[in-house]
Amino acid sequence: MKSAPRTAALVTGAVVVLVAPVLALKARSDPADPRISVGAPAPATLLPGDVRDMTGRMIANAVWTGLVSYDPATGAPVNAAAESVTSEDRRVWTVRLRPGGTFSDGSPVTSRSFTGAWTAVLREGWAGARLLTDVARVKGAGHPRADGVDGLKVTDDRTFEVTLDRPLSGFPALLGDPAFFPMPAGVLGSRAWASYARSPVGNGPLRVKARTGGEIVLQRPGGGREVVVEAMPDAARQYAAVESGDLDVATRVPTARHGSMDADFDDRHRAVPGRSVTYLAFPSGRKRLSSPTVRTALSMAIDRSAVTEGALGHQYSPADSLVAPGILPGHRAGQCRLCVHDSRAAVAALQDAGGLTGPLTLWYQAGSGDDAWVKAVADQLHGELSLDARPHPVPDLRKALDEHAVDGPFAVHATAAYPAPVASLAALLEAAPSLDPDGAGGLVTEAEEAGTAEDGVIPARLAESALLRDMPAMPLWSAHDHLVWSERVRGVTAGAFTGLRLDRLSVQD
């Protein structure tokens, strides 16, 4: 175990943005220091309904307890703040809270803590609003009234009813997202969102004790060991700090050190599979790209591993399925056989399809950060198939699609809203609505509206098979998170939908 002094970075400015280098270092005793330090980029906000990055999600899952949580081994939703979430028709859901729930300030957690928070998310237009309007489709969510939402009805302090526009068997699984976390009556009444975001009060296992400079200090409500999230966006700095004993857990790994994690940390490192997938999709109505054989050739010509290890810097995993690998259960490895790089088969398939003449434009959203990988894919298609593949960034890709201006493959990023295979497929079809070959869209709807989440697995798998057969969108890769940690820490647990579980970290005895 290392005995070097342990340090914490103090950064000027608000936590939201880092604007200055380290100003001071605070020595910590090792290993008796009661604080556990975690390096991560600064969160955009600590408002649970407005969470939009993994650091915010990680902190939210420590400060709040949702109606459900996710089993770390299986990924399945389990009741948490909810005693039960039930429905006879998957459209009208009754939520019953566990008795005695409180926020860290001692105020009670009631039905209105949830319905009021959801109404605020919609009224304020926070990032989580899309989950209520487009995924859950809560009745009236698109037009919240001053006094509430049509689809939210409080029965008593522990019971409320949620009415959806259409059945959704995965609704309970969705409730573990921070968008559905509760807020105390005080802030719901005052609507003092800015001050609440600076020092939020939740109902979770940890509370926000302090925010100073670039640190967010979390602690159990009754006291005890503190977890300090240090604003440290640079992956190399995080990694070096864990190596030197100045940091307990790094949530990023630099590209240059990816291959040395085993040597540097033995078994104290982990890649956490993600819930998003990047695809190249094909526009409808373009005859030259309508043949599944042409699409097969393009897919097999792409060396996904070369791109993820090169242009994407080991931060992504090659896709082998349409479903994100972080969906447990649900992801089936090796479903996309045409995602395997095979130069000879790609050339032969393109010849069988009669070839592809003229420029092949690869469309993507300007400013999305996709430039490097799109160029790498274009270079591969040129080298493997002798195609004139050209990257083409546009200011508004969705507008170009709506106007039918897109004449070549286009980049699609889709993120599952909850841990079920249909959630990945629904996100893909929402991101690229034209991708609805024979029966796939209907199968996705059948999976969403099935009698139980388990009953929805088979139609979801059939939908995936249909999509892979005609290849209207080829899966490329999925982002994953990295964790490395020091010898003094144990209990390192993480998931695609929660991030690192801060409340489960402890120090070796």
CA–CA dist 472, 456 (Å, integer): 22
382 secondary structure, DSSP code: H
Contact 487, 264 (CB under 8 A): no
E strand segments, 199-273:
207-212, 215-219, 226-231, 249-250, 269-273
CATH number, domain of 104, equals: 3.90.76.10
Q: Which residue is it, tokens 């043949």?
A: 291
CA–CA dist 415, 276 (Å, integer): 4
SS3 295: helix
Q: Count CA within 13 A, CB hemisphere, residue 170.
A: 27
Residues 6+ apart with CB under 8 A from 180: 66, 67, 114, 117, 118, 128, 131, 174
Q: Are residues 71 and 7 in the same domain?
A: no
Structure token pair of residue 124 = 């304020």
Q: Are residues 408 and 493 in the same domain?
A: no
Q: Are residues 288 and 353 in the same domain?
A: yes
Contact 216, 229 (CB under 8 A): yes
Residue 199: inside a domain: no
CATH number, domain of 217, equals: 3.40.190.10
Number of domains in the chain: 3
End-to-end CA distance of the chain: 12
Q: Are residues 23 and 165 in the same domain?
A: no
pTM of this prediction? 0.90
CA–CA dist 267, 264 (Å, integer): 9
Residue 198: inside a domain: no
Q: Are residues 307 and 326 in the same domain?
A: yes
Nearest to 204 by CA among 74, 316, 109: 109
303 secondary structure, DSSP code: -
SS3 282: coil
Q: Are residues 316 and 447 in the same domain?
A: yes
Structure token pair of residue 326 = 């972080």
Q: Are residues 307 and 433 in the same domain?
A: yes
In degrees and rounded to multiples of 5, residue 346 shows phi and psi of -65, -45
Contact 37, 477 (CB under 8 A): no
CATH number, domain of 282, equals: 3.10.105.10
Spell out the per-residue pLDDT of the chain, length 509, in tens: 333 333 333 222 233 333 333 333 333 435 556 799 999 999 999 999 999 999 999 999 999 999 999 998 888 899 999 999 999 999 999 999 999 999 999 999 999 999 999 999 999 999 999 999 999 999 999 999 888 999 999 999 999 999 999 999 999 999 999 999 999 999 999 999 999 999 999 999 999 999 988 999 999 988 888 999 999 999 999 999 999 999 999 999 999 999 999 999 999 999 999 999 999 999 988 899 999 999 999 999 999 999 999 999 999 999 999 999 999 888 899 999 999 999 999 999 999 999 999 999 999 999 999 999 999 999 999 999 999 999 999 999 999 999 999 999 999 999 999 999 999 999 999 988 777 655 688 999 999 999 999 999 999 999 999 999 989 999 999 999 999 999 999 999 999 999 999 999 999 86
CA–CA dist 44, 50 (Å, integer): 9
Contact 180, 67 (CB under 8 A): yes
CA–CA dist 495, 475 (Å, integer): 21
User: Can you give the residue range of the structural domain that contains 235?
Assistant: 1-63+204-268+486-509
Q: Which amino acid is at 149?
A: V
30 secondary structure, DSSP code: T
